A and B are shown apart, each in its own frame.
Chain A
Amino acid sequence: MSKFAKKKDGDLPAVSTASLPDIVFMLLFFFMTVTTMKDSSLLVENTLPNATEIKKLEKKDRVIYIYVGKPTREYQKVFGTEPKIQLNDKYASVDEVGSYILAERAKKPQEIQNVLTTALKVDKDANMGLIADIKQQLREVNALKVNYTTYEGNAFNNLQ
């Protein structure tokens, strides 16, 4: 009997927590590696359309991004609601796309300058006129590889 009685008056046995810092660090490292910091904040609304036949964009250093969409709400008073192009951190007109691509291309190392892809992140409500103008600009600077960035999902959901 005394064997059992002994436990009652003692303190709660502490759980060994020596490995908890390891767990926290593991989590921290995991998220540090998977988190990608956004290098530019979005000035345009960017709800991408859905598609099923998509390919992953590998090698992020070989991609140049162009955003298109309506200005976000806080900029709508100044810039209106017509879809606009965003290059880096500011709005741009169509004629600036070509020089932007050339400038971005010049920043990349020589050996990958020929294999760059232009990722078009276009809001689903934009109309094709603007996209056609961008495509024309891209053709003029010979940036022919484009990727229409989309979410993965049923393409027919776009039409609703």
Chain B
Amino acid sequence: MPRRKGAPEVNAGSMADIAFLLLIFFLVTTTIETDAGLDRMLPPMDPPEDIDVVIKQKNIFTVNINRNGQLLVEDELMDLKNLRAAAVAFLENGGDGSCNYCKGRKDPASSDNPEKAIISLKNDRETKYATYITVQNELVGAYNDLRNREAQRLYGDDFTNMEAEYLNPETPSSVRDDLKGKVKRIQEMFPQKLSEAETSTN
């Protein structure tokens, strides 16, 4: 048998093993950071005093969480699962008839229009953070449901998708400029008015 020409090849069959070893090592050690959450704005420390706003009781949707995680919504005990539907019904009630896209019951005892409707969230100092987040999630979800519905009707896309794309820095600026108007318009249809009063101490 004739000898092969050239340098003998190094047996590199184990290179694949090394590659897999590296792969598995990094797979195990990598934690992809979970940096997503509920965005909220806190109320400023000293409210502007020159404006004297009178808010009618019927335009406020009060949500109270007690220390056991029970909900008191508009002075009635409510299950957390029904909160989203109740908030949606309140927001799009449209009692004064000025809101032509609302599909609510137009109950005169509930909110006038989405512009005026305010959700007020109060909690106890002993309330669990997890419960608080669930309630926040449901209330933000109520706004998002309504906004999605209107965005679907006007632009054929979900509001949450449009907003995420608008906020994503990788979106080309031409698309972003186009989305800006749309996102703004939907936000103005259902402005997010979620007030967090100071925690009660009792």
Give residues of chain A (113-156) contacting chain B, Cβ–Cβ below 8 Å: 117, 119-120, 122-129, 131-132, 135-136, 138-140, 142-152, 155-156
Q: A35-B29, A36-B31 known; 5 other A-B pairs, CB under 8 Å?
A: A27-B19, A51-B133, A58-B168, A63-B35, A150-B137
Category for how many chain A residues contact B: 35 or more
Which residues of B have CB within 8 Å of A159?
A: 69, 80, 130-131, 134
**Residue contacts A-B, CB under 8 angstroms, 14 given:** A27-B26, A36-B32, A51-B37, A53-B38, A53-B140, A55-B163, A56-B167, A125-B129, A127-B127, A142-B45, A143-B42, A147-B39, A149-B35, A150-B36
Given known A123-B129, A150-B133, contact A20–B19 (CB-CB < 8 A) = yes
For residue B115, CB closer than 8 A to chain A, the reply is no
Q: CA separation between A23 and B39, bound complex, in Å?
A: 40
Given known A51-B137, A53-B144, A144-B41, contact A27–B128 (CB-CB < 8 A) = no
For residue A103, CB closer than 8 A to chain B, the reply is no
**Mostly helix, strand, loop or mixed at chain B's interface?**
mixed
Give residues of chain B (18-40) contacting chain A, Cβ–Cβ below 8 Å: 18-19, 22-23, 26, 29-40
How many residues on B have C-beta within 8 angstroms of the other chain's C-beta atoms? 59
Which residues of B have CB within 8 Å of A146?
A: 39-42
Q: Is the CB of B16 within 8 A of A14?
A: no
Which residues of A have CB within 8 Å of B141?
A: 52-53
For residue B11, CB closer than 8 A to chain A, the reply is yes
Q: CA separation between A2 and B80, bound complex, in Å?
A: 82
Which residues of A have CB within 8 Å of B160?
A: 53
Q: Is the CB of B40 within 8 A of A148?
A: yes
A 93-122 binary contact with B (CB < 8 Å = 1; else 0): 000000000000000000000000101101
A38 to chain B, nearest CB (A): 8
Q: Is the CB of A128 within 8 A of B126?
A: yes
Given known A24-B15, A55-B36, A147-B37, contact A10–B125 (CB-CB < 8 A) = no
A24 to chain B, nearest CB (A): 5
Which residues of A have CB within 8 Å of B38?
A: 51, 53-55, 147-148, 150
Q: CA separation between A147 and B133, bound complex, in Å?
A: 11
A 36-61 binary contact with B (CB < 8 Å = 1; else 0): 10100000000011111111111110
Q: Is the CB of A58 within 8 A of B144?
A: no
For residue A15, CB closer than 8 A to chain B, the reply is yes
Contact of A60 among B35, B44, B144 (CB under 8 A): B35
Contact of A129 among B31, B41, B81, B126 (CB under 8 A): B126
Which residues of B have CB within 8 Å of A17?
A: 12-13, 15
Which residues of B have CB within 8 Å of A128?
A: 123-129, 132, 199
Q: Is the CB of B12 within 8 A of A20?
A: yes
For residue B181, CB closer than 8 A to chain A, the reply is no
For residue A158, CB closer than 8 A to chain B, the reply is yes
Q: CA separation between A20 and B19, bound complex, in Å?
A: 8
Residue ID in chain A nearest B126 by CB atoms: A127
Q: CA separation between A127 and B125, bound complex, in Å?
A: 7
